[in-house]
Structure 1
Amino acid sequence: MRMAAIGLIVFACTTGIAQAQSPEEFYRNKTIDFIVPTSPGGDYDLRSRLVARHYPRLMPGNPQVVVRNMPGGLGVAAANWVAKVAPRDGTVLHMIFQNMPTLQAIGAKEIQFDVRQFGWIGNTTNTPNVINSWHTTGITKIEDVYNKELVVGAPGAASSSYVYPAAMNALLGTKFRIVTGYPGGNDVNLAMEKGEVGGRGSNSWASWKSGHPHWLAEKKINILVQIGLERAPDLPNVPLIWELAKNDEDRAVLKFISSDIGMSRSIITTPGVSADRLAALRATFDTMMKDQEFLAEAAKTKMDISPSSAAQTQAAAESMLNASPQVIARAKVLIEGPATR
């Protein structure tokens, strides 16, 4: 009994010490794992590495930040790992794929997370996604795809590169032919250069500007349509996908699949992180989004930074789950691919 009492006292003391640790004390000499859901290269990876280079000097305790690529399942594998396996102590960050709330909303069977339980930290950009054609196709505007087939590449049938053109075919009557199976977006880009495909089913507009500015300058790609709730200021004449809808019902579905742009390059942490550490992670993000050294490096690489707060980003993600059952049911048929049609 005496030993048990001593044990309880020691446990209570050590627990009290742990709880009394400030974020600065906790993060000192710690390593934060930054999980990227793609292979190296591409906007998710490059953007995560930019954040990882600046986060340590702005974070209380100046922890080391190590980027770890975890591709698989078109982003689902990484999100599931963050939700179910990763330590829940604030030492894991993740740039979550933007379509994860959509997949949860339609009840995709692979999903093991609830986006409402993640610790949302902020979104680095709300730039729209775009569908493009390669210059050799002769297709320069979306109207051309109503009359001429355009072959576009996509990593998989659950990726936005598949969903957007498939939705346009079903609801708008376009003639996209979608070739899936590419490991990632960079592979689709190579396929365009080789002539295997005539376009890419989806990419971030910011990614094109930062990763391939020479293609834009040399007019090697044509931006056909935007996916988002607002047009990009520098694409004023390129229509949004939902603006092309023929009726209100179709417009609602196209707006639903466009809504995840509000969290297009968002950073989260695991469920269950203590309030003080989550507040420290969010405050560091907010500081970084205004930090001149960070912004200078982003500008040098032409990486768009148009941030949203943690509250705004979480609201955008949760809004997908609150869509009407009718809209979700129609979107489910489009997103889950040919097997359901």
Structure 2
Amino acid sequence: MTRMRCAAATTMLVTIAAGTPVVAQEKVVSLYVGYTAGGGYDVYGRIVARYMGAHLPGNPTIVVQNMPGAGSVRLANWLYSVAPKDGTAFGIVARGVAFDTLLGLPGASYDATKFNWIGSANNEVSVCVAWHTSGITSFEQTKEKEMIVGGTGGSADTDQFPKVFNGVLGTKYKMVVGYPGGNDINLAMERGEVQGRCGWSWSSVKSTQPEWLRSKKINVLVQLSLEKHPDLPDVPLIMDLAQTPLQKGVFQLVFARQVLGRPFLAPPGMPADRVANLRKAFADTMQDKELLAEAERAKLEITPVSGEALQKVVADAYAMPPEIIKKTAELLKD
């Protein structure tokens, strides 16, 4: 036993001396989810956690921890300032987190361009839906009739998208904010507290509430992305509703986040080799046959976007024309 311990210690010293990333020695890596359990971000986080460890050096166990708050801004702040920078902690946050500091939203104390973006599980299309008892069946009706929707706070799509619609298109969305996660908004719809949800990922709708679609419990009003989803050919696309160059520019900035889909990110200041390890492992995980089979069974869309591509989307957003950024920031102020 003593000889085995000595051999193990010697191996560890040799490995460290060889410069192998810390990720290779760690047996536990923490993946933090910026929302409560049961919602779309949590579902994607957990499926990635089940398979990604096998693609990291040393095959560590990935443990999922939920850290909800302010539409996942709480987690983003923690990853930026507190989390270890050795590759043992990364997270999945709201796609809007990347744009909060750009738009001057309160509570965000990070520079999104300095995060190490690891990758996204899909290029997302979101939707606005109305509960079947609301009497609202089209997006045009929301310009004439108030519609109460639930929000999770901060950079969440559920809070930001209705504000943009009200400011740009004159809709009459009224928000009830502070729900811990999307699943809580769904329960609120069932209880009659709110009439709908705006900024709900279509992939999440299909995977978590297929019965609502089958039984027509919800009406899909509009799709929110730069391009239409093939599932929704007859649902209007928000980009087609812009009537001026300024309106189109605002929509382009706001909905650029959809490319980020379900974004995974790591703290800034990490050694380049450890960032590369996480990005490669994530990319390999997105091709893992077992993950793809489980995702198909769960009706989860897997249309991955690389970490490098996410990094570019964020950088490009911060380079948008100042007048577009200013107008968008004004719309999103409380």
Is TM more than 0.5 here? yes
Equivalenced residue count is 323
- The amino acid across from 2:150 in the alignment is G
**Structure 1 contact 101–321 (Cα < 8 Å) conserved:** no
Aligned counterpart in structure 1 of residue 20 of structure 2, from 22, 26, 32: 22
Q: For the residues of structure 1 that align with 2:276 and 2:294, how far apart are their CA atoms?
A: 25
Q: For the residues of structure 1 that align with 2:144 and 2:31, how far apart are their CA atoms?
A: 45
Aligned counterpart in structure 2 of residue 52 of structure 1, from 33, 49, 68: 49
Q: How does 1:187-336 map to 2 (within 5 A)?
A: 187-336=184-333
1:125 aligns with 122
1:105 aligns with 102
Aligned counterpart in structure 2 of residue 41 of structure 1, from 38, 54, 64: 38
* TM superposition outliers: structure 1 runs of 4+ over 6 Å: 14-17
- The root-mean-square deviation of aligned C-alpha atoms, in Å, is 1.9
Structure 1, unaligned runs of 5 or more: 1-13
Give, in angstroms, the shift of residue 193 of structure 1. Answer: 0.8
**Structure 1 contact 260–320 (Cα < 8 Å) conserved:** no
**Structure 1 contact 104–321 (Cα < 8 Å) conserved:** no
2:7 aligns with none
Give, in angstroms, the shift of residue 29 of structure 1. Answer: 4.4
Aligned counterpart in structure 2 of residue 135 of structure 1, from 107, 132, 136: 132
**Structure 1 contact 262–317 (Cα < 8 Å) conserved:** no
Q: How does 1:3-14 map to 2 (within 5 A)?
A: none
Q: For the residues of structure 1 that align with 2:175 and 2:277, how far apart are their CA atoms?
A: 43
Stretch moving more, 172-181 or 37-46 = 172-181
**Structure 1 contact 191–197 (Cα < 8 Å) conserved:** yes
Flag the 1:178–1:29 CA change in 2: closer, same or farther, 3 A. Answer: closer
Give, in angstroms, the shift of residue 304 of structure 1. Answer: 0.9
Stretch moving more, 281-290 or 152-161 = 152-161
The answer to whether structure 1 residue 64 and structure 2 residue 65 are counterparts is no
Write out per-residue CA displacement over residues 82-105 of structure 1, whole angstroms, 9 at most, x where no aligned residue.
111111111111112211122111
**Structure 1 contact 158–336 (Cα < 8 Å) conserved:** no
**Structure 2 contact 72–156 (Cα < 8 Å) conserved:** no
Flag the 1:283–1:238 CA change in 2: closer, same or farther, 3 A. Answer: same
Flag the 1:142–1:116 CA change in 2: closer, same or farther, 3 A. Answer: same
Q: Percent of aligned pairs with the same residue?
A: 40
**Structure 2 contact 126–223 (Cα < 8 Å) conserved:** yes
Q: For the residues of structure 2 that align with 1:179 and 1:111, how far apart are their CA atoms?
A: 21
**Structure 2 contact 118–263 (Cα < 8 Å) conserved:** yes
Q: For the residues of structure 2 that align with 1:301 and 1:327, how far apart are their CA atoms?
A: 39
Write out per-residue CA displacement over residues 260-308 of structure 1, whole angstroms, 9 at most, x where no aligned residue.
1111211111112222222221111111111110101111111111101
- The amino acid across from 1:214 in the alignment is E
Write out per-residue CA displacement over residues 88-125 of structure 1, whole angstroms, 9 at most, x where no aligned residue.
11111111221112211112342222222222211101
Give, in angstroms, the shift of residue 42 of structure 1. Answer: 0.1
Q: For the residues of structure 2 that align with 1:62 and 1:15, how far apart are their CA atoms?
A: 19
2:5 aligns with none
SS of 1:94's partner is strand
The answer to whether structure 1 residue 73 and structure 2 residue 65 are counterparts is no
Give, in angstroms, the shift of residue 129 of structure 1. Answer: 1.4
**Structure 2 contact 129–197 (Cα < 8 Å) conserved:** yes
SS of 1:105's partner is coil
SS of 1:131's partner is strand
Flag the 1:273–1:156 CA change in 2: closer, same or farther, 3 A. Answer: closer
Q: For the residues of structure 1 that align with 2:70 and 2:159, how far apart are their CA atoms?
A: 14
Q: For the residues of structure 2 that align with 1:275 and 1:159, how far apart are their CA atoms?
A: 30
**Structure 1 contact 226–239 (Cα < 8 Å) conserved:** yes
Give, in angstroms, the shift of residue 155 of structure 1. Answer: 2.0
SS of 2:142's partner is helix
Flag the 1:15–1:273 CA change in 2: closer, same or farther, 3 A. Answer: farther
- The amino acid across from 1:22 in the alignment is T
